[in-house]
Amino acid sequence: MSQTDASNGPTAAVGKTPQQDDASRVLIFDTTLRDGEQSPGISLNRHEKLEIAHQLARLGVDVIEAGFPITSPGDFESVQAIAREVEGPVICGLARTSKQDIEAAWNAVRDSERPRIHTFIATSDIHIERKLQTTREDVKGQVRAAVAQARGYTEDVEFSPEDGSRSDVQYMAEVIQIALDEGASTINVPDTVGYTMPREYMAMFEELYRLIPALHDVVVSVHCHDDLGLAVANSLAGVEAGARQVECAINGIGERAGNASLEEIAMLLHTRQPSLGLWTGIVTTEIARTSRLVSRLTGYQVQPNKAIVGRNAFAHEAGIHQDGVLKERTTYEIMDATTVGLRSNSIVLGKHSGRHALSEALREMGFELDGQALNTAFKRFKEIADRKKQVTAMDLEALVTDELREEIPGYALDWFEVDASSLRPPHARVSVTLPDGGTATGSFTGDGPIDAVFQAINVASGVAAKLSEFTISAVTEGQDALGEVSIVVEIGGLTGAGQGVSTDIIDAAARAYVRALSVAVARSHADGAIGLPETI
């Protein structure tokens, strides 16, 4: 094994081709942009998906499952853009076993230096009989045809028997053998509904290895959902049974209760490497930034007590704990916060800081901005610096991520004003730029100043959006902290998420609302999906 770096595992492997001949290497397959985006309320545009994909490459993931190309023209274009622009990881597209799905997946990923097609079909009896309404033999035939078709496009083909943890192991082994016979190079056996337990999952893999000796010659993968809170534990059980790829998502987002959390898997294997003897190519110092980026762009806030990346993950309230940490950090902390990229706010700028100082501070944080992008960031920085005594690294990251986000064509907030008093209901007036370039104003009296602004935006836009989620969090501490608002709105059963950042929480909320409104309207106008998205 190569020399080990204290923060990132064996440094020789970071960013390089996965070493499948190293039995101690665990490949990280990230499905944030596919399974993660299937979470209710998440709808990322092409630019946002690209931004996340580039960050995943910096994080050092081995495989990016960029999307499900057949589901919509927008998803196809996003996967295609990632395949063309993101270097390093394998770029994977998901496909059912139909010819159209596999052809779409290949056309989306074919321009990648390292393309993969991931095809799947259910093998549990409840799915075969109730969902697919077919037979076991038909499933076998579909697998044979699908893997053969995919293998005709690329040597890197992954096959998954959906709902594997609830499938008859003997039958599932027969299906997997067919996939191997047709040339599949990765076999993923998912716990699709988060039902299994670690000992059951481990026993299932042990039996599959016994029934299918050829499994020892390919990469075996786990994909676990968190319905019973066991996604990470089950993933570890599969790895201990011999699997060497873990499918997971940033912040654990995904269908229903979500997927196994990438940051938890990575730091589990890193922290307990002496005991487990396993390692990944994850650049751990990029974990916190990746988590924050995904949280901001999806609108899914990270719970304070979330392992690794939560606000309280490295905080100590009890006096005994504080005293111990002050004397020796390792008395209560099994990880160093800086290992996962949780930096202190050592970067501090003020209202007199110039463009060069901002550029250098951003460069130190990993943001390379110049030209119009730097000018845009500098203008917003000056606006915030006039309101805050000090602008910290966390503030800068939030501002840059917010300001440089490519807006979905739609509505934009021009200005707002609010009359608020404890003596009468708040009244708001707004001006909104419309999708056709025109402007419109609206006014409304609401239950509170923020509600009044939202209702006034609805009046101005002529869209009766319904607020379904509203979350406020502080980027940093103090009375002048930046506020970050995440919103989900619903229009005719379709949802859209938006985020806004400002020292003025009404301003942040208004920015978030018009972005969410634009996303929801764009989704309602989008071309219809071909078939229904599924999950493994």
Higher pLDDT, 162 or 491: 162
Q: What is the pLDDT of residue 261?
A: 98
**Per-residue pLDDT tens over the stretch 345-361:** 556 677 778 888 888 88
Higher pLDDT, 521 or 314: 521
> 203: exposed, middle or buried (C-beta count within 10 Å: 0-12, 13-18, 19+)?
middle
- Count the Cβ atoms, other than its own, within 10 Å of residue 72: 18
Torsion, CA 225, CA 231, CA 234, CA 239, rounded to 10? 90
Distance of CA 526 to the CA centre of its chain: 22
Q: Which of 45-49, 216-220, 507-511 has the lowest mean pLDDT?
A: 45-49
The amino acid present at 485, given as its one-letter code, is V
**Residue 402, by phi and psi: left (phi above 0), alpha (psi -120 to 50) or beta?**
alpha
**What's the CA gap between 143 and 250, in Å, rounded?**
30
Please provide the average confidence, as pLDDT, over all residues in the chain: 87
Tokens of 129: 């009989």
Q: Tell me which H or E stretch contains 95.
A: strand 90-95
**What's the CA gap between 249 and 234, in Å, rounded?**
15
**Backbone Cα Rg of the chain:** 24
Residues forming beta bridges with residue 9, ordered by sequence position: 5
- Are the beta carbons of 93 and 77 closer than 8 angstroms? no
**What's the CA gap between 162 and 173, in Å, rounded?**
13
Helices 99-109 and 136-153 meet at what angle, rounded to 10? 30
Would you say residue 366 has pLDDT above 80?
no
**Per-residue pLDDT tens over the stretch 21-57:** 689 999 999 999 999 988 877 778 888 899 999 999 9
CA distances from 381 to 24, 315, 377, 404, 484 (A): 46, 29, 6, 12, 15
Residues forming beta bridges with residue 429, ordered by sequence position: 417, 443
Backbone CA torsion sign across 396, 399, 401, 404: negative
- Are the beta carbons of 13 and 2 closer than 8 angstroms? yes
Q: What is the pLDDT of residue 112?
A: 98
- Count the Cβ atoms, other than its own, within 10 Å of residue 479: 7
Phi, psi of 344 (to 5 degrees): -75, 165
Q: What is the pLDDT of residue 403?
A: 65
**What's the CA gap between 248 and 375, in Å, rounded?**
37
Would you say residue 368 has pLDDT above 50?
yes
Higher pLDDT, 268 or 346: 268
**What's the CA gap between 33 and 191, in Å, rounded?**
19
Question: For the whole prediction, is pTM greater than 0.85?
Answer: no
- Are the beta carbons of 179 and 158 closer than 8 angstroms? no
Helices (H), 86-197: 99-109, 125-126, 136-153, 169-181
Q: Which residues contact 390 (CB under 8 A, 6 or more apart)?
A: 348, 349, 350
**Per-residue pLDDT tens over the stretch 280-316:** 999 999 999 899 889 888 878 888 889 998 877 776 5
Average pLDDT over residues 415-428: 93
**What's the CA gap between 155 and 250, in Å, rounded?**
28
**What's the CA gap between 17 and 40, in Å, rounded?**
34
